[in-house]
Amino acid sequence: MKFSLVSLASLLALTSFVAPVEASDWECNHSWKDGGLRRMSFKFNGYCEDLWGRCFLDKLRSRALIIHNWQCWPLGDGNWQVDFSTLKGMGTEAGKAIQDVTGQWKGCWDGV
């Protein structure tokens, strides 16, 4: 089998332009008071973007959390942001619901 140096160089040049595939991930933003509720925020990529993050909302509800003012939007950098409000003291349960989707525990809102 014959390889030319030019064809190998061309192949290497083309592969260097392919963007790396980002792994699915999520990260905590923060939480704050929302009247009598607690507002929580996180970013994610690689999970149910075609459903606008609905898989997270479904898991939050499946843990019997009352979700108020759910918002999910693309940030334009490949990540999505979610903000939602729930009862105070339910931060750990919210984190567990996100873990149900992602398989990752981050302990963002323990005790809030």
d(CA 98, CA 10): 44
> Quick check: is 16 in a domain?
no
Amino acid sitting at position 23: A
CATH number, domain at 39? 3.30.70.260
84 within some domain = yes
Asked, for residue 67, whether it belongs to a domain, the answer is yes
| In-domain check, residue 110 | no
DSSP secondary structure of 19-78 = PPPPPPEEEEEEEEEETTEEEEEEEEESSSGGGTTHHHHHHHHHTT---EEEEEEE-SSS
One digit per residue, pLDDT tens: the chain, 112 residues? 555 554 545 544 444 443 333 569 999 999 999 999 999 999 999 999 999 999 999 999 999 999 999 999 999 999 999 999 999 999 999 999 999 999 999 998 987 8
Task: State the total domains in the chain.
Answer: 1
Q: Give the domain range for residue 93.
A: 24-102
Residue 13 lies in a domain: no
pTM, two decimals, is: 0.77
Yes or no: say if 106 and 28 are a contact pair by the CB < 8 Å rule.
Answer: yes
